[in-house]
């Protein structure tokens, strides 16, 4: 269990509950300002420095419809933050000599070699270069909960013809591709593998496939009034661009009228590109503890840049290691240049700063997509956190 420095308990005067270690009070200040100035609904932020918990904050409303407050044990769906959890599973397999980045995917998953994918490599899959960012045939929202069936669809699918596809973020398909690699190599689903090989040893309140008895702890997501501003969540974009439709609207589970992510079926399913549910405390601990799971050289490989490009649909720079997002000029992962981790739709953000020996996680239930210069909520928290750890 992580150690805990002398902490300042947060009083009941503000929105926040929890504590911050001495010297980290400015993080608490920004967390409060997220509610008073930046429109926060419910959220949690946690950080671990040098193996010790230095920030553990939560506050606001977990479910506006019932008035349920955000509690210490509230769980939150973190969308593509899930990809970081899957990446950790891949590193464990690499560490054990069971997975090689240069190998063709069909070595582990023979059916994947169909439809012109004979030489497509593991590295191309984990860096979103497989030209499989979306699905050719129509898929229903109900089908997304069957990870085995979705992997089979991708095994039989030819790479997309659109020349942008090799540079396009694999929003959901990354999870099914990498999850099936885990299953074919180990025999367990990626959710079970994560639970037994990562969550259990580290005592993490984090799940890819939520046990039904924990459903009552999950915060209810809300879409901000401006949801649909960004092109990928704007229905009109998909109507005019087949690639956008394949990636972001097949099926439509993101628009206001079709938003599916508060359902129990989605929470309990293994949708390994987007459905992890966790506390911020747990995800911060995972990132702070990766060196306990794999050898130093494997962790270094995991955050080594394997791909850097300008993503054509999101119109933004991206960089990837083994599944992890790496820092770009946008500094979305905080000020440090060596930051790695993964963000999620709507604003959640999770990762590590190796030089500063920090793991962090921000989770929230008000989903926003209208921030031209980035979501100010995690940005403010990470800037304050960085000022506290300084150049350590």
Q: What is the mean pLDDT of residues 274-301?
A: 98
Rounded Cα distance between 158 and 98, Å, is 26
Rounded Cα distance between 231 and 239, Å, is 11
Digit-coded pLDDT (tens) for 234-265: 888 889 999 999 999 999 999 999 999 999 99
Q: What is the mean pLDDT of residues 297-319?
A: 97
User: What's the N-to-C CA distance of the chain in angstroms?
Assistant: 23
Residue 292 pLDDT exceeds 60: yes
Residue 4 pLDDT exceeds 60: no
Question: Percent of the chain beyond pLDDT 90?
Answer: 91
> Interior CA angle at 328 toward 226 and 252, to 5°?
35
Q: What pLDDT does 231 receive?
A: 85
Digit-coded pLDDT (tens) for 152-172: 999 999 999 999 999 999 999
Contact 342, 351 (CB under 8 A): yes
Rounded Cα distance between 113 and 155, Å, is 7
Lowest mean pLDDT among 7-11, 44-48, 59-63, 131-135: 7-11
Question: Percent of the chain beyond pLDDT 70?
Answer: 96
CA-to-CA dists, residue 319 to 73, 101, 126, 144, 160, angstroms:
33, 17, 11, 27, 21
pLDDT classification of 1: cutoffs 50, 70, 90: very low
Q: Quote the tokens at residue 153.
A: 């669809």
Q: What pLDDT does 390 receive?
A: 83
Rounded Cα distance between 103 and 139, Å, is 30
Domains belonging to the chain, first-starting first, are: 3-389 (3.40.710.10)
Digit-coded pLDDT (tens) for 193-218: 999 999 999 999 999 999 999 999 99
pLDDT classification of 48: cutoffs 50, 70, 90: very high
pLDDT classification of 2: cutoffs 50, 70, 90: low
Digit-coded pLDDT (tens) for 324-361: 999 999 999 999 999 999 999 999 999 999 999 999 99
Q: What is the pTM of this model?
A: 0.96
């Amino acid at each position: 269990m992580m150690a805990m420095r002398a902490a300042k308990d947060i009083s009941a005067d503000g929105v926040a509950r929890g504590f911050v270690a001495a010297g980290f009070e400015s993080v608490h200040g920004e967390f409060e300002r997220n509610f008073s100035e930046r429109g926060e609904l419910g959220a949690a932020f946690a950080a671990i420095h040098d193996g010790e918990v230095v920030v553990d904050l939560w506050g606001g409303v977990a479910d506006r419809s019932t008035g349920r407050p955000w509690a210490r044990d509230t769980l939150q769906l973190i969308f593509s933050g899930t990809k970081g959890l899957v990446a950790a599973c891949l590193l464990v397999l690499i560490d054990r000599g069971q997975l090689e980045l240069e190998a063709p995917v069909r070595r582990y998953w023979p059916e994947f070699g169909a439809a012109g994918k004979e030489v497509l490599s593991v590295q191309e899959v984990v860096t979103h270069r497989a030209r499989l960012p979306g699905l050719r045939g129509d898929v229903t929202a109900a089908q997304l909960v069957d990870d085995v069936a979705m992997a089979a669809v991708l095994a039989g699918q030819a790479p997309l013809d659109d020349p942008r596809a090799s540079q396009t973020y694999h929003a959901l398909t990354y999870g099914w591709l990498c999850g099936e690699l885990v299953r074919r190599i180990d025999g367990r689903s990626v959710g079970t593998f994560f639970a037994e090989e990562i969550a259990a040893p580290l005592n993490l309140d984090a799940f890819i496939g939520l046990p039904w008895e924990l459903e009552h702890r999950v915060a209810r997501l809300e879409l901000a009034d401006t949801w649909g501003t960004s092109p990928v969540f704007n229905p009109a974009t998909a109507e005019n661009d087949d690639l956008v439709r394949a990636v972001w609207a097949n099926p439509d589970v993101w628009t206001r009228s079709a938003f599916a992510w508060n359902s129990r079926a989605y929470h309990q399913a293994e949708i390994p590109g987007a459905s992890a549910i966790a506390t911020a405390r747990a995800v911060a601990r995972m990132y702070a503890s990766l060196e306990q799971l794999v050898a130093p050289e494997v962790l270094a490989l995991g955050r080594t840049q394997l791909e850097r490009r300008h993503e054509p649909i999101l119109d933004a720079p991206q960089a990837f290691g083994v599944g992890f997002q790496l820092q770009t000029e946008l500094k979305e992962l905080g000020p440090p240049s060596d930051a790695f981790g993964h963000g999620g739709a709507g604003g959640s953000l999770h990762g590590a700063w190796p030089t500063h020996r920090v793991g962090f996680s921000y989770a929230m239930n008000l989903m926003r997509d209208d921030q031209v210069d980035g979501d100010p909520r995690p940005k403010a928290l990470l800037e304050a956190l960085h000022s506290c750890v300084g150049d350590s």
